[in-house]
Amino acid sequence: MASTRAEQAEKTRRTLLDTAQRLFAEHGYDATSLQMIADAMDVTKANVYYYFHTKAEILEAITDLAIGGLATILDTAETIPDRRARLEFVVDGFVDLVVAKHAITPMNQTDPGMRRHDRVRGPIDALTERGMRVLFGDRPTLDEQAAYYLVSDLGQLIRRFPGTPVDDLRATLKRLCLRLVQD
């Protein structure tokens, strides 16, 4: 069955975002140009501009997808009254999200180019505060805050194990993250 123009456009947009994410992870946000993205896709720069007018718009779209997934996990977690069950649910969901999306091309949340953009930094910081509150309440201890920050940026860790089977990586990360966030 032939795909419609809208389906083809969405597929191209998705490929563009995946390519940009990979290049941002490999080279950093600042060192990645729109021309590099176009070259990696074997399209013209005009084709990239058709979908996104700036590199910042691409970064925002990538970030919005990640934030949406985590926000959904936190929405459900807020309805789980048992603290341990809530911790397990968030860790399971977060690790699944990260491994599924970033196992091949994890982006560094501390990349200065990324952190410079308020439209990216603001939602990430707000979601971080919300996640900490969902897991630990309104006054997380210093240990709880440190554990949350360690768990929230698994990209650095994932990069160290590029050939690890996804199921093994997922199981290891879930086990270790759960240890970090529990008492």
Residue where the block lists tokens 């994410």:
21
Q: What is the 3-state secondary structure (H, E, C) of 38-95?
A: HHHHCCCHHHHHHHCCCHHHHHHHHHHHHHHHHHHHHHHHCCCCCHHHHHHHHHHHHH
For residue 9, being part of any structural domain is answered with no
How many residues does the structure list for the chain? 183
Residue 104: per-residue pLDDT: 41
Residue 11: per-residue pLDDT: 93
Angle between helices 55-77 and 118-136 (to 10 degrees): 10
CATH number at residue 63: 1.10.357.10
For residue 116, being part of any structural domain is answered with yes
Residue 149: per-residue pLDDT: 87
For residue 103, being part of any structural domain is answered with yes
Residue type at 2?
Answer: A
> Each residue's pLDDT tens digit in the chain (183 positions)?
557 988 988 999 999 998 998 898 888 888 999 999 999 999 999 999 999 999 999 988 988 887 888 899 999 999 999 999 999 999 999 888 887 765 444 456 667 777 787 787 888 888 889 999 999 999 999 999 999 988 887 777 777 787 888 889 889 999 999 998 886
For residue 172, being part of any structural domain is answered with yes
For residue 18, being part of any structural domain is answered with no
Please tell me the total count of domains within the chain: 1
Residue 12 Cα distances to 5, 47, 48, 49, 74, angstroms: 10, 10, 9, 12, 30
Phi, psi of 142 (to 5 degrees): -60, -40
Give residue 64's domain range. Answer: 55-181
For residue 67, being part of any structural domain is answered with yes
48 burial level (CB within 10 Å; 0-12, 13-18, 19+): buried
